[in-house]
Amino acid sequence: MINNNELNNDEIEKYLINLADKAICYYQLYIIDYRYNRKITTYTIIPLIIISTFTGTATIFQPYVNPDNETIYLIIIGCCNIIAGLLTLLKEYFRIFNEDQNLSYVAIPFQQLYREIKLHLSREEIYREESNKDFLKKCTKQLDRMMETFPSVSNYAIEKFKKKFKEPINTNDSIKSIVNDNNSVFYNANL
């Protein structure tokens, strides 16, 4: 941690901007993870519906199957039911995983920290509730606490984030430096 007593006001403001950029980057990363997990959960339901409809319809037509093919017919229906059961298990695993981590709620404090810093910096110094040094200490502690207690970001989210901010025209220099420096934003990720 940087010693706040050695920093002047401009350096503190630059450091606060850097903290705000880190916070919004983590917000984006957790949102990417949340959307990815929701897609997986959604796409496990579609094959489940198709297989369940197929096995239900096949069971209705079982009395009309040729007795010579009845054994293979029952095996196919049984295998489809097993696959449907495994898909249900997978879907429930992802549902429980999402409830456990609930990445959309994890992302919100990072966005709040970003907004709080931006609001603090947008006010004139005489109208700020806290001095820059005290505010910097508070924000640094809050970000460190969130980094320690929140779940790590997936490699998928990191790669997607890096691709998104690789060469965009409207990206500011702080975010470019965060994306290019693996030790800043992504130090909490399990690589």
Q: What contacts 24, CB < 8 A, 6 or more positions away?
A: 110, 111, 114
Query: Higher model confidence: residue 169 or residue 72?
Result: 72
Domain boundaries, the chain: 4-188
pTM of the prediction?
0.68
What is the pLDDT averaged over residues 92-100?
A: 69
Rounded CA gap, 118 and 110, in Å? 12
- Top-ranked range on mean pLDDT: pick from 15-24, 37-46, 153-162: 15-24
**Among 152, 147, 183, 178, CA closest to 165:** 178
pLDDT exceeds 50 at position 180: yes
SS3 per-residue string spanning the chain? CCCHHHCCHHHHHHHHHHHHHHHHHHHHHHHHHHHHHHHHHHHHHHHHHHHHHHHHHHHHCHHHCCHHHHHHHHHHHHHHHHHHHHHHHHHHHHHHHHHHHCHHHHHHHHHHHHHHHHHHHHCCHHHCCCCHHHHHHHHHHHHHHHHHHCCCCCHHHHHHHHHHCCCCCCCCHHHHHHHHCCCCHHHHCCC
Reported as a pLDDT band with limits 50, 70 and 90, residue 191 is very low
pLDDT digits (tens, 9 = 90+) for 131-161: 888 899 999 999 989 988 887 787 888 888 8
pLDDT digits (tens, 9 = 90+) for 60-78: 888 888 889 889 999 999 9
What is the pLDDT averaged over residues 30-54?
A: 83
Contact 95, 41 (CB under 8 A): yes
